[in-house]
Amino acid sequence: MNVSNLEDSAFKNSKNPVIYVVSDMYGDMAENIVKSITSQLNINSVEIRKVTFKGNHKTIIEVISEAKQQQAIIAFTLVKTKLRESLMQTATEENVIAIDLAGPLFIKIQQLLSQTPSSNQMSDEYYRKIKAIDFTIQYDDGKDPKGILEADIVLLGVSRTSKTPLSQYLAYRGLKVVNVPLLPEVDPPKELFLVPASKCVGLSIKSETLIKFRKERLKSLGLSADGTYASTERIEKELDYFEEVVKRIGCPVVDVSDQAIEESGDLIFDMFHGKGSK
């Protein structure tokens, strides 16, 4: 990341901030990441400008020039190392903030596994994961139940059962994931009953653990930990409803009460590939 003059950047003081999203393929992933972040920060004024890069270095210069004029920042996913380095170097020279969304992760995993895949292997695996991540972000938190029909795995659970981080963990392993929040006041999407039960996984949790998680969440929001959201009565009601739905679907259930995201994610991944018991 080029952050040499981050504190002095005009971007943070801009009335109409702009973020350029640059990608050579599957730019929706980068766009959805940026949208997810701005949404979490409750920033609605940011304009996102998507640029599909097709191998012409001239495009890099043009985008950086526009970003500089607009006092914008750049978020990008570029597969080829030379292109990533070229963009970062040019951005640094022009004093434009550029953020590599995928390169560091790919490089670190490659180093840890001591593997140097061929260009075709890298592209196929990279793009498969990019597609999975893009899909998972797009259908996070039950945004569109139609995604259930296209997903590899559908995670079901009440609030604070790690649905989103588990979805992202599985997506990084190449699986398209949809997570669906369950609330007693809302009927479950009809699509849940149109797909094989083996595609769905319920995320159960102990009531005392859920109470703790929800109280912590309320405190982090500056709210009273004694709110209805974290009350025993409310949580028991939601968990009972969860049991009703998963029994109706007939899907396997994973208890996430005392497990790290990686542990639960690996268990679900193995279940999907037929290595674990249901």
Domain borders along the chain are 10-104, 139-271
- Spatial separation of the C-alpha atoms in residues 159 and 234, rounded to whole Å: 12
User: How far apart, in whole angstroms, are the C-alpha atoms of residue 268 and residue 253?
Assistant: 9
Torsion angle, alpha carbons of 61, 137, 112, 128, to 10: -80
Asked: is 139-271 a CATH 3.40.50.2000 domain? The reply is no
Q: What are phi and psi of 259, to 5 degrees?
A: -120, 145
What does the alpha-carbon distance between residue 242 and residue 8 come to, in Å, rounded to a whole number? Answer: 49
pTM over 0.85, yes/no: no
Question: What is the side-by-side strand order in the sheet with 47-52?
Answer: 47-52, 18-23, 73-77, 98-100
For residue 253, the cross-strand partners are 202
pLDDT on residue 37: 82
pLDDT for residue 7: 45
Q: What is the DSSP string of 42-108?
A: T----EEEEEE--S-HHHHHHHHHHHHHTT-EEEEE-SSHHHHHHHHHHHHHTT--EEESSHHHHHH
CA distance 69 to 72: 8
Nearest to 202 by CA among 186, 183, 179, 185: 179
Q: What pLDDT sits at residue 115?
A: 62
DSSP state of 3: -
Whether residue 131 contacts residue 176, with contact meaning beta carbons closer than 8 Å, is answered with yes
* Residue-level pLDDT at 118: 52
Ordered DSSP codes for 17-38: -EEEEEESS-THHHHHHHHHHH
Which among 275, 207, 273, 196 is positioned nearest to 238, based on CA atoms?
Answer: 207
Going by C-alpha positions, the residue among 239, 202, 231 that lies closest to residue 214 is 231
Hey, which CATH number is domain 10-104, 2.60.200.20, 3.90.1150.10, 2.40.128.720, 3.40.50.2300? 3.40.50.2300
The two domains 10-104 and 139-271 share their CATH topology (first three levels equal): yes
Tens of pLDDT, residue by residue, the chain (278 residues): 344 444 445 666 676 789 999 887 555 677 878 887 877 776 777 888 888 776 667 888 999 999 999 899 999 888 777 888 888 888 988 889 999 887 777 777 767 776 655 555 555 676 778 788 889 988 999 889 999 999 999 999 999 999 999 998 899 888 999 999 999 999 999 999 999 999 999 999 999 999 999 999 899 889 999 999 999 999 999 999 999 999 999 999 999 998 988 899 999 999 988 654 43
3-state secondary structure of 184: coil
Distances (CA, A) of 215 to 41, 117, 234, 238: 21, 46, 13, 16
